[in-house]
Amino acid sequence: MLLMYIVFTVYIIAINFYSVMLLISQKNEYLIDESKLNSGDGKLILSALLGGALGIYVTMFITRFKLKNMLFMILMPVIGALNVWFIVLAYRSGFTFIVL
């Protein structure tokens, strides 16, 4: 059971790291070519749904990127709250909902 906690924690850290790197790379692309503002938004939303919403939301404020995009300003906190709820549910239940 301890291994499941470790694997899940590493997964959450890894997906948040990937999400942060994805947002930073999008900002660098935008600085090079301003016509690529909306390229890759689907990747950001997918990584947020997989558990990286809080990493994206914090990085948006640190890098001051996509702050005027209302979709991200509303969607990321909602998905982040769902991510936190799911993580708490997973840890409290002892991962009993996962069938191996």
| Structural domain contains residue 98 | no
Question: What six digits make up the tokens of 66?
Answer: 């996509």
Per cent of the chain over pLDDT 90 is: 66
- Average pLDDT for the chain: 90
Is there a domain that residue 10 lies in?
Answer: yes
Domain with 14 in it: 2-29+42-91
Residue 67 lies in a domain: yes
How confident is residue 98, by pLDDT bands cut at 50, 70 and 90?
low
Alpha-carbon distance of 97 to 81, in angstroms, equals 20
Q: Scanning the structure block, which residue is given the tokens 């790291």?
A: 17
Inside any domain, residue 36: no
pLDDT one-digit tens code per residue, 7-56? 999 999 999 999 999 999 999 988 888 776 677 889 999 999 999 999 99
What pLDDT sits at residue 56? 96
40 φ, ψ to 5°? 85, 15
With 0-12 / 13-18 / 19 or more C-beta atoms within 10 angstroms meaning exposed / middle / buried, residue 63 is middle
How many domains, the chain?
1
Q: Provide the pLDDT confidence category of residue 63 given band limits of 50, 70 and 90.
A: very high
